[in-house]
Structure 1
Amino acid sequence: MERFDVIVLGAGMVGIGTAVHLRDRGRHVALVDRRGPAEETSFGNAGLIQSEAIMPYAFPRDPKVILGVITGQRTDARVVWHALPATARWLLAYVGQSGPAAVHRTAIANVPILARALPEHMRLMERAGATDLLRSGGYIRVYREAREIEAALEVDEAVRREFGVPYEAWDGARLREEEPHIASTLAGAVHMPEPGRVIDPSDTGKAYAALFEREGGTFRIGEAASLARDGSLWRVETEAGPIAAPDVVVALGPWSGDALAREGVRVPLGVKRGYHRHYRPARQGVLNHLVLDPAVGYALGTNKRGFRLTTGAEFDRRDAPPTPVQLARVEQRAREIFPLGEAIDEPWLGSRPCLPDLLPMIGPVPGKAGLWAHFGHHHLGFTLGPATGRLLAEMMTGETPYADPTPYRVDRFAA
């Protein structure tokens, strides 16, 4: 049986970031996944490195918004009613953590890890030779009416005052100047200049994983469900044979709760499902920025496969069959403002792993020697994987963590 210092379960961006940082600190690390690197949840995001995303995606408080979701009139969120027996408990916890005080606590906890998001990505991109995947210029949120822009700017200004997040208001003329192929009927946009963007999230993750292997890390195809205690070690079965280590990190995204449950540890992990699809350009349409349409609930940007259209949240069971209703509806609305051509692939479905307070779990699992948690990054797994991977690696190797890990502790929901 091959022995390592640490086994990292899950080769999404979170697991890859953890493995690289542990390897940088001299640990003999095995990264294990049932598929190749960055082929599950980390494959399907919009590619943003959202360093500005201090404020969490809280459950809405506006009665009109809630009613619109409940009645199926909105496209930014969809509740699957027959799944409520399985999802209601988590949804209620999410609602309970979406009040003003709780949202502010989450925002405060987001500050140090988001401050490291882009620098840690840049460091890995340079080492991996993957800087050609990165695009600058941030993203824009587009609005159809002036009153919508005014309401958005009130929030943006409050966040700028407290947290220093910059923004820029664009009127219709400036929007047309920056994005000549977007419909002239839009009233304007808000530009968020700081976030980075990659043209393919999966390729980015694969480049980091290749760096990990080049520098002495080991990747194995294996099944997380085989994790078991073997004396003082944790053992996992892989295609190349069993491996063992005194420490194991659960970085399995939406499947992390299953792994902990097998060890008798329950965590309130839910999912927000989301879809994407790729399209050819029509009429030689070009986008210079990634576009978010908050009123409709989609993101649209360039990807090496074409224009990638991603949806908002679908509240359904993690393993339920795909129901790409939202995707069809937002596609129709996206075509109203940008000339999308024909679809070039089938809809893709992924599940964002979410804890009720929309903060990740990072740290040791109480009562389970050598078992560490690193999951629950909700919409920010791609953004935060390298940054929180560094935080966990510092904790595991006895360094002084760059941020206080208390807000992300595993037992914070124990009460």
Structure 2
Amino acid sequence: MTRLMPKPENHAAAPQDRTALIVGGGVIGTTTALALQWAGWAVTLVEAEETPRAASWGNAGHIATEQAEPIASPAMVRGFARRLFFRGGALALPPREIATWLPFALRLLGAARADRYKRAHGALAALLAQAMPAWRRHVAALGAPELLREDGHVVLWETPESAARGLAGWQAADTGTARFRALTESELQDWRTRVHAPLAGGIRFEGSGQIADPTHLAEATLARFLADGGTRIVGRVAAVGDGEARLEDGRRLSAAQIVVTAGVASAALLRPFGLKAPIIAERGYHLQAGPAVDWPADLPPVVFEDRSMIVTRFAGGLRAASIVEFARAQAKPDPAKWNRLRRHIAALGLPIGEDAKPWMGARPTLPDYLPAIGRVPGTTGVSYAFGHNHLGLTLAPITGELVAAMLDGKASPVPLEPFGLARFG
């Protein structure tokens, strides 16, 4: 058995009972690892792949503080049919995957009941209110404040009908700490010069933001973690016990605290403890052009709401992302999803050509669209943080801070009870 001991040059004073093992190297795992490290823990991070491909690093880079209302809502149920992929929407329910998505969909409908939605809305809004301050602290501690861009984002509509409907929807929505205003005619005209499709209206959000580049974030996070004495192990964790993890290759690792942050794979790791985590792989797709793309680097993320597509300029290029596909994480990607993106890109005249790199990744999603954060009952050294759906990047630093406070027995800035897996029975 390998004992996770602190590195002497950086953690000589860390006692044996302040060793932590993080299972999963997505944005939740890495930020949690750093939060614990900065709190004085000797931390080992176990990553399944040498080059991470988690949804954390393939997303739109948007810090979505405006999404204070869980997706599992009465409004979602009412608009379900028009969002289906075969009707032009972004929601894909592949018939061959019905055994996977039907049980999840039934749970989602239950979570969207008015009473349950009200509780979930309050819990998510409280968590999101802490998201941007936590990001500021995180990039400052990383020594990379340039990674965080607090320039808001833009939403555009292409017809008068969709503009009126979309504006009314946002006016009725809880946007948390974010606020928005209508685009001026000058601003709207500027977007018309960049987009071929007609634009009938738009709004500009303030209080949201983006990461300058997810790849740079991943590299900076890992570099800081290792420089501060962290240990990174590449391998798949097959099982977790109280204070011990076993890898598929037979290696055994031990630590005083083990935190499961393995996304979709977390459910299987926690099942032996009697915990239910009815998680699904909510698969998203993107296409990305290279860094020489003709798109100003200072433009904020832009949502083409009629097309359920977000376009973000990163240091590494221009990315168009869309699709909510419920399926097994290991199912083959569906080329029809990338083809839909290509048609949207062509209709809008975006500078993303046929040489754009395709990507597909699985967002870990629970039926009520709340993350799972808490301790495993009956253990002294196992906890979890996963299931952040579309909000993994947004909520990563505050999740890390919550886990660090929980393991140190400190008061939590956000009540954790709504995020415990006990809510699933």
RMSD: 2.7
Deviations 1:327-363 (A, max 9, x none): 2113212322233242334421100111111111111
Q: 1:282 to 1:233 in 2, by over 3 A?
A: closer
Per the TM alignment, residue 28 of structure 1 is displaced from its structure 2 partner at its CA by 1.4
Per the TM alignment, residue 75 of structure 1 is displaced from its structure 2 partner at its CA by 3.0
Equivalent residue for 1:170, pick from 183, 194, 197: 183
Quote the residue 1:409 is aligned against: 420
Q: Kindly indicate whether the alpha-carbon contact (under 8 Å) linking 1:138 and 1:191 is maintained by their aligned counterparts in 2.
A: yes
Matched residues in 1 for 2:69 and 2:273: separation? 33
Equivalent residue for 1:190, pick from 203, 209, 213: 203
Quote the residue 1:299 is aligned against: 310
Matched residues in 1 for 2:180 and 2:398: separation? 23
How many residues are paired up?
A: 410
**Residue 15 (structure 2) pairs with residue 3 (structure 1):** no
Equivalent residue for 1:258, pick from 249, 268, 288: 268
Per the TM alignment, residue 184 of structure 1 is displaced from its structure 2 partner at its CA by 6.3
Q: 1:110 to 1:395 in 2, by over 3 A?
A: same
Q: Kindly indicate whether the alpha-carbon contact (under 8 Å) linking 2:292 and 2:317 is maintained by their aligned counterparts in 1.
A: no
Equivalent residue for 2:219, pick from 195, 206, 230: 206
Matched residues in 2 for 1:400 and 1:63: separation? 36
Structure 2 residue identity aligned to 1:116: Q
Per the TM alignment, residue 370 of structure 1 is displaced from its structure 2 partner at its CA by 1.6
Structure 2 residue identity aligned to 1:2: R
Per the TM alignment, residue 90 of structure 1 is displaced from its structure 2 partner at its CA by 0.8
298-307 or 382-391: which moved more?
A: 298-307
Unaligned runs of 5+ in 1: none
Q: Kindly indicate whether the alpha-carbon contact (under 8 Å) linking 2:197 and 2:349 is maintained by their aligned counterparts in 1.
A: no
**Aligned positions of 1:13-412 closer than 5 A:** 13-36=27-50, 39-58=53-72, 61=75, 65-69=79-83, 72-159=86-173, 163=176, 165-170=178-183, 173-177=186-190, 180-183=193-196, 185-225=198-238, 227-229=239-241, 233-237=243-247, 242-279=252-289, 284-286=294-296, 288-412=299-423
Matched residues in 2 for 1:280 and 1:244: separation? 42
Matched residues in 1 for 2:76 and 2:142: separation? 45
Matched residues in 2 for 1:187 and 1:281: separation? 30
Q: Kindly indicate whether the alpha-carbon contact (under 8 Å) linking 2:152 and 2:300 is maintained by their aligned counterparts in 1.
A: yes
Q: Kindly indicate whether the alpha-carbon contact (under 8 Å) linking 1:56 and 1:107 is maintained by their aligned counterparts in 2.
A: yes
Per the TM alignment, residue 390 of structure 1 is displaced from its structure 2 partner at its CA by 0.6
Q: Kindly indicate whether the alpha-carbon contact (under 8 Å) linking 1:181 and 1:286 is maintained by their aligned counterparts in 2.
A: no
Q: Kindly indicate whether the alpha-carbon contact (under 8 Å) linking 2:345 and 2:352 is maintained by their aligned counterparts in 1.
A: no
Matched residues in 1 for 2:344 and 2:107: separation? 32
Q: Kindly indicate whether the alpha-carbon contact (under 8 Å) linking 1:281 and 1:339 is maintained by their aligned counterparts in 2.
A: no
18-27 or 331-340: which moved more?
A: 331-340
Secondary structure of the structure 2 residue equivalent to 1:243: strand
Per the TM alignment, residue 48 of structure 1 is displaced from its structure 2 partner at its CA by 0.9
46-55 or 214-223: which moved more?
A: 214-223
Unaligned runs of 5+ in 2: 6-18
User: How does the TM-score come out when normalised to structure 1?
Assistant: 0.90
179-188 or 193-202: which moved more?
A: 179-188
Q: Kindly indicate whether the alpha-carbon contact (under 8 Å) linking 2:183 and 2:204 is maintained by their aligned counterparts in 1.
A: yes
Secondary structure of the structure 1 residue equivalent to 2:413: coil
User: How does the TM-score come out when normalised to structure 2?
Assistant: 0.88
Matched residues in 2 for 1:324 and 1:60: separation? 31
Matched residues in 1 for 2:28 and 2:350: separation? 35
Quote the residue 2:10 is aligned against: none
Structure 2 residue identity aligned to 1:399: K
Q: Which stretches of structure 1, 4 residues or more, deviate above 6 A after TM superposition?
A: none
Structure 1 residue identity aligned to 2:112: S
Structure 2 residue identity aligned to 1:273: R
Q: Kindly indicate whether the alpha-carbon contact (under 8 Å) linking 1:37 and 1:209 is maintained by their aligned counterparts in 2.
A: no
Per the TM alignment, residue 294 of structure 1 is displaced from its structure 2 partner at its CA by 2.0
Matched residues in 1 for 2:363 and 2:420: separation? 19
Percent identity among equivalent residues? 27
Q: 1:324 to 1:117 in 2, by over 3 A?
A: farther
